[in-house]
Structures are given as structure tokens and as C-alpha cells.
Structure 1
Amino acid sequence: MKFSKLSLGISSILMGVVFTSSAVESTTDTNSDSIEQITIFGSTAAVSKLPGSGAYISKEMLDTYATTDIQRILSSTAGVYFVEEDGYGLRPNIGMRGSSSDRSEKITIMEDGVLAAPAPYASPAAYYFPTVGRMQAVEILKGGSSIEYGPRTSGGVINLVSTAVPQDALGGKFDLALGSDGFSKLHTFVGGRNETSGGLVEIYNYQADGFKNLNSGQDTGFNKTDLLTKFDIYLDDDKRHQLEFKLKYSDESSDETYVGLTQQDFNENPYQRYSATQLDDMSTEHKHASVHYDYIISENMDLSVIAYINDFGRNWYKVSKINGSSLGSGAEEIASNFDATVSMGGAPDDITVTLKANNRDYLSRGIQGQFALYLNNHQINIGARVHNDEMDRFQWVDQYALAADFSMSVLSAGVPGTNSNRIDSANAYSFFVKDKMTFGDFIVTAGVRYENVNLARDDWGKTDPLRSADPSERNNEVSAFLPSVGTTYQANDNWVLLAGVQKAFAPPSPGNNKADNEEGWNYEFGGRFSYDSVNGELIGFVTKLDNLHGNCTASQGCNIDLIGQQYNAGKVDISGVEFVINHRAEFDSFAVPTRFNYTYSSAEFGETFESELGLWGSVEAGFDIPYLPKVTWQLESGIAGDNWQVLAAIKYVDEMRVVAGNNNIDENNGIDARTVVDISANYQIDDQQSLYAVVDNLFDKEYAVTRQHGGLQVGKPRSLQVGYRYQF
């Protein structure tokens, strides 16, 4: 039996949930000899025996969505939630099973099995996220099966699978789309394979003018481009040794801001932006290189090793103060009054706008490997990773005057390195051992993961931009053993029962004064069922943390003088239920596929404490954790013919409180519940060509998504995308 490419994916331990172009159903994917292809079990029956919950979103479903927003894709799965921000998913906030969604910092994000966050140990807040539009699959894993993927095991894992090298001598894709608010997308790749090698070149660009309006007339959109190439070669005639090289470059410019609207202005026009934010811009550059070696030792042994490096630079030049008031402390009101006075024909005094250059460089690099052995009824996996990453903050502030004609002029230019000037770094090594054992109708998966992390902070303060003196230093070392065990039982032809327990862990950041780990236990239990054309799963989960981390980040609206600090919140209890059901009704000339997923989540603080984090504040035991909707659900259904389909998705997100508490949620402390409908249509012209159309927010629902940044931010309004796809 050949073991294929374990270190590059998590598919082989996932429940397969695939939406095809003409159906919504549970199935499995097919294997490929390409080194970067991720494989899963070859049958639904085998997948159903897995001792944890997960989902596999296929290329067909990604083509159906035709979206560039990972958050819209993830809404098709249970147990995953998110806080929208810019409307396009450029910097998603994703949480799983009660973990914080802020900048997806509490989950493990990978591309082709490699950690994708810019500095996943030293600074996990992911201001970079791989472009989902160029992916061929998305894998989601929760529960005890995620022992192979650290460092964070209290939430879950997302692995994004990049485009595979075509298996034919020549193959490729051309995908062009146009849409609302100046949206355009171009995705193309070409490649091929012969007996000894294969290669691929890929380009992905998407952009929009934005759906928010500035009185000063500037765009509020973005432009992002990815360039990727792969090359692989067999090193022997038996094709047992294979080497792959992967290179990627991307850049982005987005006119995004953290300045939200006052409640009154949001009620009048939620799509406006204050003139003070006209210069806000995020500029990024991301470079990746990796080398993957795969060795099929024998029919029952496989070795896979990856060396990688990620280099990410970004400067989010954005408003931090207006007339000396920080966001959330009067800045929005000042900006609002200025724009209102001008719009009514008045001539207000100039106001002073402080823009901070949040300039940071990130570097992560490492080597990881896995060895797999099949031995009778055992599948043994052994893996290790050596990793280093760092974040270099080198920031400054500039002062501008905003005049009555909406023009902005420089009052003073800051000196780089005089606002924040420090390096946070981490050196980590980890290993795991996992054994999947089969005993008749029982499958038991047990293992242990070990993490050791050395954290450091070198801080030159605000008066030494040349870094000529010795910095103040902070050093910590933490480690953890993380056991896990899960089991499934094939009760009968229709039911598979499962249960599992896993030690939860997240390392502290260099800004954590006490350097305490986030630790606890994850439990899950439930079952999967299948009756003719109906299948699904019902899983309950409980997480008990001994010490929850809270990170002070600009994205949470934290005090700007505390950004980078991490705080310990003590005990937290998280629990919930996930439910998924699929059905496909077949008729003479069409089918009606239906899928429904539902998640209930509850997360409460277990201790009373005082917090410097704005979204926590003064916390009492029993307070609900903010920005966690108790209920989310999505219903997808439609009509599918032989070469066409129309599918609709009705998505519900419950109300959320924006600060910790247990009082009633209202417009002062929360975000209202919302129901949004999306629709997609596809027409297959022939085997190679297709047309598609996608409408997000069909009924043009106006809804707020967050108050974290000092004011209300709005969700994307109704938008249309029409595209043409040619594949060969």
C-alpha cells in the first residue's frame, strides 16, 4: 500500500464533504500522482470512521462559489465562525469552537501543509492570508485529529491546497470575471507533465474600487496579485524519489481603515467613510519558497520532508488619532462633525489627523518532516518541525491638517523607528507520534505532541531609531506535552459513533509578562449517519481552558499604547453543538441538492478580573466572551440539471456582544443578528467552457459586522459577479 504525501495535507484524516458542480453531496476525491496533490480516503465508508470532525471543500465547490472571500466559503461548514471586516475577506477573522476570531490568531492556518501566518509563534495575528481564489481545495479540521498540526490546538486547523500541476502534457485554466463596484478577477495557469517532471505557472489578480464612499472622492477598494510557480522532478526511474520546488510572490494595496461610523451616521448611510481616512492604505508584499522531498521507501513506509521560508512586509498607514483623540475615544465623533459641517455648507476649523505607519517585516522559516509506517492494524505517523520566526516593528507617525475642501496637507513627518521599534522572535521545535489502530468495528487513534518555544523581545523604545544602543530584552521558554486519543465505532450500516479528548495549547507571545501557556482540554462526542440519500453528523464539543490569552491588537480596538501586549484571563468554559445534514432528491430531468449546517456555541469566563483590553473590560465570572455568535446556520439548496445549476445559500448569524458581559445585547454593546442570502448559477457550455454568475447579499441587507475599531463597520452590499471559465 502506498502512503501518499501526508505532510502536505490533512485530507487523509478528514471527513470528506464535497460539493460537485451538479450536486451537493458527501463523497470523496480522487488521488493523483502529483506531489502536491492532497489525498483522502477512497470511500465515504472509510472517511466516516474518523475520530474527529472536519470538512473538505472541493475544487468543484470553490468554482461554484467563485468567491475570493474565505469567510463566505467557510460558512458552508459547521463549527467555524468569523467576524467580517472589509467585505472582501482580505484579512479574515476566523474562529473555531469558541476560540477568538481576531485575525485568525487562535487557529492553525497552512498552505500545502506549511504554516502560512507571517510569524505563527512570535506574532500569530494573521495580517496576511493566502488568496483563496487560486486554491483547488480547502480542508478544515477540528478535534483530536489535529495533533499533527501545531502550534495551536485549542481551535482547529485550516489547510489551503494550491493548484496542482496538470497531469497531462499541457493543461491550464483561464477565468475572467467582472462585477459590481469595479470588481474584476483574472485567474490563469498553464503547466504540464512528462514521464520525469512537471511544472506550473499561475497568475491571480483581483481588484475593486470599493463599496464605501469618501467625500474627498478617493477609491476605497484594493488590488492584489499572486504569482506562483511549481516544478517537480522524479529522481529515479521507479518514481520513488520526488523533489518539488514552489515559489510564490504576492502584493496588495488596499484602501482600508479602522475608523468606523457613529451609530447616527451608520443609521443614515452605512456605506460612507469619513474624510479623515482618505489616506489610509495597506501595502503588503509576500514571498514564499519551499522545497519538498518525498520518498516512497516501500509499500508500507513513506517519508516526506519540506524546507520553507516566508518573507512578509506590510505597512498599514492609517488614522490613529484625530485632534489627539484615539479611536473609540472621540475620534469618530470629531470626524463625523467635520464632514457634517462641510456637507451643510459650513466652514469648520482645520482638524489634525495623526496617521501611523504600522510598518512591520515578518520572517518565518523552518523544516518539517513526517514518516509513516503501516504495520498490520496500525498506521503509525512520526513527525517533527524546527521553526524560527520574527516580527520587526519599525513604525512612525505623521501629522496632517484636514481642510474644509477635504484636502490633507502634511504638518510634520515622523522619523521611522520613533513610534515602535522592536523585534519579537521565536525559536521552536516540535514532534509528534500518532498511532491509528483498527480493532474490528473500532478505530482508536492515540498520540502525543510536544512543543518547545523560546520567545524573545528586543525593544529599542522610541528614541533610538538607529538601534545603536543595547535594547531592553525579555526572554521566555515554554513547553508542553499534548496527548490526544479518539475512537470511532461502526454501530451498524447507518451509524458511526465517535468520541475524543485532546490537550489544548497555545504558546504565549513575547508580550506576555507572565509567559503562561494557554492550556486546557478539548472534548468531542457524537456520530455520523447515512440513510439512502440522506447523510450528516451531530457532534457536541466542550473545551475547558485553564488560561485564556487575550492579545492587544489594533484590530480589536485596543489602547494603542498597549498594542503587542498579551494578557491572561484564567479559566474559560466553552461548549457547543454542530449539526450537518445533506440530501439529494433526484427527478427525471433535474435534481434538488440540499445541505444544512447549524452551530451552537457558548463561551464564558470562569474568573473575575480587571482587564486593560477594551473588549473585555472588568470581567466577572460567568460573563460571555465577546464576538461569539451563539447560533449560526446556513441552508443551501437549488436545482441542478445535466449542464446547469442554480444554488442559493441562506446564512444566519446571531447577535454578538462586543464587550464581555451577561446583560441584554443592544446597539450600545452589540451587533444585531442578520440573515443574508447569496445565489450562484453555472452553465456548462461544453467540456471546457462554462459561464457563471454570483450575487452576494441578494436582498441588499444593510448590516453591521463589528465595533472593534472604534465605530461601526458595515457588511458588503448586494454585489454581482459574472464570469467566463475555460479549462483544458
Structure 2
Amino acid sequence: MSFAGKVNNVAAGFRRRPLSVLVSLALMPAMPLAAEEVATSQLEQVVVEGDWLGTPSKENAKTYTGARNVVESEELHERAALNLEDALRQVPGVQVLDETGTGILPNIGVRGLNPLRSERVQMLVDGYPIAIGPYTNVGVSLFPVTLPSLEAVDMVRGGAAVHYGPNNVGGVLNLVTKPIPNEMEQTLRERLLIADGTGHVMTDTYYRVGGFVTDNLGLQFQANLQKGNGFRDHSDTEVQSYIFDVDYFLDDINELKAQLQYYDVTADLPGALSPAAYEADRTQSQRSRDGYDADMWRASLTWIHTPSDDLEFQWRNFAHDADRTFFFGQDLTSGGNWADPEGTASHVADSPRLFKVYGTEPRVTKQLGNHTLMLGGRYVREEVDFDVNRLELATGNYTSVREWDFATDAYAAYVSDTVRFMDDRLAITPGIRYEEVRTDYQDAISGAVSDNHATEWLPGLTLGLQATDDVFLFANAQRSLVPVQTAQVIREGDVANETAWNYELGARWQLTDNLEASATLFRIDYEDQIVYNSTALIYENLGETRQQGIELEGRWQATQELALGMGYTLLDTEQLTGDYQGNELPNAPRHHVSADATYEVGPWTASANALYVSESFSDAANTVDETANGSAGELPAYTLVNSRLGRDIPLGNDMMLNVGLGVNNLLDEDYYFRGVDVSPVGRLPAPGRTYMLEGQLSF
């Protein structure tokens, strides 16, 4: 096949059939189709990269052997979402705590796991780890992703631990950036966010140009600039993100894919409020000295070698050089909590973190009869400078409080074997992952040194059965590891390597051509779950905990114009050992109900979505009555409603303009959470009503 033919096939989704997704091809719903229709349907499931998850599409998710939701680009555009966190609210089992409204510091939790800094979900961008320290700094305190650059969001809650580790107790969140198009095309988007009440404005400018410039070379450039103020005082924010992609076919069996990104953010952080200040004006700030500054260079390079139809080799490499600093006021003179919002700052601290990370991961997939074998390994090197400095405002003295250096070498190896039976309707995949993490620590001030060494075997088993043409059943069990984090070392308290067992049992039904439903039972048995006590400023080992529940979801294409969806999660959490035995876990609401509707007629699209989240606790002690400074207490239930109206306007010469008006938090719901990073005491207000004006020109 010529390169031109290959490139054309890429655009149509027919490039090749990676072995790692043969299972999902075999387990596609066996609808009554003609032979040629079956072949076409199978080819549409093909993905460019031969990884375990396969194509991030709704169709592929239907036969995945675990709970999985894919939010595609059109939905991201129509949900009237402020940011990525907002776009994920409709996914069953996902808890979002929106700290800024700008998306720069996401707080995403899954199935009762702590959402603060998204610490318990493995975040990937195009399959590469995005955590600033993939092993020892899994909290997302630097998030180089903006919503306009994404093609899809793939939330995999089970069945992926063998192939993606180690921090995946809550699953794998793969953020898929926009691919290089077949033909040269450009996109220009401008968006205005206007906060109701304060009138603060945030501009969001996005530009993309890309395509195949020759038969075998594709290039793409994306730029996203965000500037303005969030919904609160002291929230000035500026973001720059530039992404350059290359896709090069050396010949018919070798392909190179590369991406280079520069991301920079500077922001004032309004922080938490005391209960009294919150009731007086939730848009004010009592933390005038808090801020955030970060930048990152990211690079990835993948070689894909396919010498035959039954063998594929990938060699994935990634690296980043990052620098992030929080600035925060401290009251070290009054004897109270240093982070009391109503306190007067005596000092301003800064906590710079410098990260240099490199990773390499070769993997090979081989088909042998009804077996599909996948074998891979990974090495990651992390070098971290972990400093804290303090400025005394009265004297101007600037001192170094901590100068800690960490060096981590992490090794992983994994193998899985997918065996297909019953005319490919049944697939069973046993697998195992080995993780070894060695971290050396040195205190440059005191001279103290120590090391931490963790090794774990992490087995997993997935099963998928196409029981009938309309019913797909799945089950899985997996074990995961979260190594000791550097942030845990710097404070007093109990720390340990965390391990957990995850279990799922689920089914998907195609009830009619226009109606589908799914149900998933899940359970997480956690050992040594570590949480941060924002009142005592220490990490606590809750010991064994349990999260279990059910996730229900349904979609109905009611008419050609109207589509409806609903979701429900019932979550039951319990601390099984320790001082808080019998209590619920923090930030783990019991009920999560979502609904959405989309109506399309001609060039117009109207959409609305609603979410209800029940009350929850903010601490392990399950404190109900709020403390005087707001450090603990029950968190309120809330209901969010978003809506958007958009119209496509053809301009001729293959140019299309889409204009839209949206309202986020239409009812101006008043709700909050607590315990965020450098402002852990008080109520952290979530965004109020926000108006959106946007226009996108594609040509």
C-alpha cells in the first residue's frame, strides 16, 4: 500500500488491527448484521496505538471488560462545562471538587477515594502518565491539560491495573488530545466566561492547525491562552499551553509519533473562607498572599513496529521538566492554626518543587491461536527538589526551612494472556504486574538521609462474555499499589505503602435499537489508606477501609432529535480499623444522580444536564457540627444545572462557524468543600452561576 493510501486509511479509522485490541473486536455486540456490515463494524473499532484500552470511543467501551465511560469531543463542547472537572461530573462514581473554576488544579475522586489533588486516579495524556511525579508525587499539583485540546476523555474505573500502574485504585483517566487530521485544517475558538454577581471575565483563546503535509508526514500545532479572573476576588489567572505533534511513517511497518508541549500558569489563589466570611460574601478572599506559579516541558516519543499481522512492538518514551511553587500566608504568632482564614499573616511561605522525570516502556503483543499475549516493562526515574522557604513580614528575613532531595528509580514489568472461547464470545485475561520502587532521601540542611524500598506483585483477572446479541457481561479483580509519597515524609504521622483490591461485576444491555442500559457492582478493599488531617496537619493511616456500591446508567434516543440520559451511583464507605472504625470516608457522598438531554433540530443544538450530590463528611472523624474556623463539619448536598444553546452557521468554502451561549450552575447553587492544599482550614466556595459566550470557526 502506498503512503497516500495508508494516510487515507488513518482518517477513516482503518489503519491497522493492533493485537492488544483483538479481544475487544472479538467481544463486540453480535448484532444481526450482514457479513460485509460485520467486517465494516469491526474495522471501525481499530485504533492507531496497540494498547490495552483500545479506541477511546463509546462503541469500544460497550465491550470493555470493566466499568468505563468515554466523553467524546462533541459532548465536551456541549456540556457547558467550565473545565475538565466539570465535564466529568456526569460520569457515574466520579466526585468533583472545583477549587478555582479555571481547571488549573483539578480535584477528581472515584468511588469514595479522596478527590483532593486527584491523588487516587491514574491520569494519562494519550496513554502517558501526567502526574508531576508518577510514583512519589501522584497528586496533580501541576496539570498541563486544557479542555479545548482534548478529543475525548476516557474514564476507566476497573480492569486496567495490570497494564497501567501503579496509582490506579480509582481507575485510569486517559485524556486523549486531538489527533492530526488527514487533510490540512484549522480551528479558531474564542470563549468568554462571565461570573454572575462579580462580573469577572475569563477569556479562553484556542487555535489549531494540522494535517498531513506529505504522504507520510503529519504535523499539528495547538495553542491555548487563558487570561482573566475567576468568580472570586484575588483570582487573576493566566495560562499558556502550546502542543506540537508529529506522526511519521517510515515505511509500511514502522511509525514514529512524537509530541512536545510547553505549559505555563500563574494564578492568585483566593483560598478558603471562615464560616462568617462565607455567609457575608462567598466571592471574597481572606488569603490575599496565596498564589501559584508553574511551568512544564513535556515530550513523548513512540516507535510502533508491526512486522506481521500477528506481532506488534511499541517502544514508548516520555520525559518532563517541571517547576511549580505555591505561595501562602501563615500566622505563626497567634497560637492558632497557621491557616485560619481570619488570621493576620506574619509570614509568607513558598514551596518550590523541581521535577525531572524520564520514563521508557517497551511492550510487545503476539497472537498465538486463540491467545493474545502482551508483555511489557517500564523504568521511570524521578529527581525532586522539595523545598520550603519563609519570609518574615515584620523583619524581611528570608530563610530556608526545608531543602529535601529525592531520587526515585521505579521498575515495572507486566504480562497478560487473553484467551478466547465460544466463537470469540468469551474472553478471559489473567495477568500480573510487578512494581519495585526505590526512593533515596536527603535533607540538605540537617544532613539526614534515608531510603524507602517497596516491591509488590499485583495480579489481575478480567472476563468478558457476549451472553446474547444484546447483553454483554463482565467481571474483574485487580490489586494496586500507591507508594509512599514525598509529601507524607515532610509531616508527622503514620505513613505506609498503600495497597488495595478492586472488584467489579457488571452488565450492559441493548434493550432496543434506541435504548441501552448498564449496571456495575463494585467493591474496593483498601489496606493502609492514608488521608491528610487538615485540622491536625498530619497524615493519618486509616488502616483498612471499604468502598462498595452500584453504578447504573441508561441512554435513550427518544426521537431523531431528542436524546436522554440518566445515571445513579449508590456509594457505601466504611473505615474498618483504627480510631474511626465504623465511620464513613471523607468526601464520599452516598448518592450521585445525573440526568442530561440534548435536542437537535436543523443547525440548532440545545442541551441541559443536572447533577445531585448528597451530603458528606469532610474528615475521618465524621464531624457533623462545623468548627468555629470551618476546619471540619458536614458538607452540604447540592444540585447543579448547566445548559447550552448552539448553532452551526455554514460560511461557504468548507468553513463552519459554531456559536453558543451557555449557563453553568444555572440555579446559582451555593456549596463548598474543605481542606485544600495550602489553605486547609475553612470553606472553599465552588463556582456560582457563570455565563458562557463562545464561537468556533473550522476551516
Secondary structure at 1:412 match in 2 = coil
**Mapped pair 1:199 → 2:219:** yes
Secondary structure at 1:85 match in 2 = coil
1:358 corresponds to: 351
Q: Which moved more, 1:35-44 or 1:107-116?
A: 35-44
Instruction: Give the Cα separation in 2 of the matches to 1:519 and 1:299.
Output: 38
The one-letter amino acid of 1:244's match is K
CA deviations 1:261-314 (Å, max 9, x no partner) are: 22122112111112xx32322011111112111111211211111111111101
**Mapped pair 1:383 → 2:347:** no
Q: Which moved more, 1:428-437 or 1:376-385?
A: 376-385
Picking from 683, 688, 696, the partner of 1:717 is 688
Instruction: Give the Cα separation in 1 of the matches to 2:448 and 2:366.
Output: 48
Aligned-residue offset at 1:29: 11
**Mapped pair 1:190 → 2:203:** no
1:310 corresponds to: 320
**Mapped pair 1:685 → 2:685:** no
Contact 1:111 1:130 in 2 (8 A): no
Secondary structure at 1:525 match in 2 = strand
**Mapped pair 1:212 → 2:183:** no
Aligned-residue offset at 1:254: 0.7
Aligned-residue offset at 1:642: 3.0
1:696 corresponds to: 664
Instruction: Give the Cα separation in 2 of the matches to 1:485 and 1:498.
Output: 11
CA deviations 1:76-115 (Å, max 9, x no partner) are: 2112112222222211111112222121111111111111
Aligned-residue offset at 1:28: 11
Instruction: Give the Cα separation in 2 of the matches to 1:480 and 1:165.
Output: 39
Aligned-residue offset at 1:505: 2.1
2:482 corresponds to: 506
Instruction: Give the Cα separation in 2 of the matches to 1:160 and 1:12.
Output: 22
Aligned-residue offset at 1:332: 2.3
1:705 corresponds to: 673
CA deviations 1:233-275 (Å, max 9, x no partner) are: 2222x2x1111221100100110143x222122112111112x
Secondary structure at 1:266 match in 2 = helix
Picking from 250, 254, 262, the partner of 1:241 is 254
Aligned-residue offset at 1:323: 4.2
1:446 corresponds to: 430
Contact 1:141 1:157 in 2 (8 A): yes
Q: Do the aligned partners of residues 15 and 672 (structure 1) sit closer, same or farther apart at CA in structure 2, a change above 3 Å counting?
A: farther
CA deviations 1:503-527 (Å, max 9, x no partner) are: 2322223546987431232111121
Q: Which moved more, 1:40-49 or 1:139-148?
A: 40-49
Q: Do the aligned partners of residues 15 and 633 (structure 1) sit closer, same or farther apart at CA in structure 2, a change above 3 Å counting?
A: farther
Q: Which residues in structure 2 correspond to 1:117-156 (within 5 Å)?
A: 117-133=131-147, 134-156=149-171
Q: Do the aligned partners of residues 279 and 43 (structure 1) sit closer, same or farther apart at CA in structure 2, a change above 3 Å counting?
A: closer
Secondary structure at 1:183 match in 2 = strand
Q: Do the aligned partners of residues 231 and 207 (structure 1) sit closer, same or farther apart at CA in structure 2, a change above 3 Å counting?
A: same
Contact 2:80 2:663 in 1 (8 A): no
2:590 corresponds to: 630
Aligned length: 649
Contact 1:93 1:103 in 2 (8 A): yes
Contact 1:147 1:153 in 2 (8 A): no
1:264 corresponds to: 276
Secondary structure at 1:148 match in 2 = coil
Contact 1:147 1:448 in 2 (8 A): yes
Aligned-residue offset at 1:431: 1.3
Aligned-residue offset at 1:2: 7.2
Contact 2:187 2:696 in 1 (8 A): yes
Q: Do the aligned partners of residues 710 and 688 (structure 1) sit closer, same or farther apart at CA in structure 2, a change above 3 Å counting?
A: same
CA deviations 1:373-397 (Å, max 9, x no partner) are: 2233222221211101132122211
Aligned-residue offset at 1:13: 12
Instruction: Give the Cα separation in 1 of the matches to 2:534 and 2:56.
Output: 47
Aligned-residue offset at 1:369: 2.1
Aligned-residue offset at 1:118: 0.6
Aligned-residue offset at 1:35: 6.6
Q: Do the aligned partners of residues 479 and 515 (structure 1) sit closer, same or farther apart at CA in structure 2, a change above 3 Å counting?
A: farther
Contact 1:455 1:509 in 2 (8 A): no
1:407 corresponds to: none
2:3 corresponds to: none
Picking from 504, 511, 522, the partner of 1:524 is 504
Q: Which residues in structure 2 correspond to 1:483-494 (within 5 Å)?
A: 483-494=459-470
Q: Which residues in structure 2 correspond to 1:362-511 (within 5 Å)?
A: 362-400=355-393, 411-415=395-399, 418-440=400-422, 441-461=425-445, 471-510=447-486, 511=488
Contact 2:387 2:402 in 1 (8 A): yes
Instruction: Give the Cα separation in 2 of the matches to 1:142 and 1:458.
Output: 36
**Mapped pair 1:538 → 2:515:** no
The one-letter amino acid of 2:283's match is Y
Q: Do the aligned partners of residues 538 and 28 (structure 1) sit closer, same or farther apart at CA in structure 2, a change above 3 Å counting?
A: farther
Secondary structure at 2:518 match in 1 = strand
CA deviations 1:63-85 (Å, max 9, x no partner) are: 22364522111112112112222
Secondary structure at 1:165 match in 2 = coil
1:333 corresponds to: 342
Instruction: Give the Cα separation in 2 of the matches to 1:166 and 1:37.
Output: 21
Instruction: Give the Cα separation in 2 of the matches to 1:710 and 1:638.
Output: 40
How high is the TM-score relative to the length of structure 1? 0.83
Instruction: Give the Cα separation in 1 of the matches to 2:43 and 2:385.
Output: 42
1:343 corresponds to: none
The one-letter amino acid of 1:528's match is R
2:71 corresponds to: 57
**Mapped pair 1:172 → 2:168:** no
**Mapped pair 1:645 → 2:605:** yes
Aligned-residue offset at 1:167: 1.0
Q: Do the aligned partners of residues 472 and 166 (structure 1) sit closer, same or farther apart at CA in structure 2, a change above 3 Å counting?
A: same
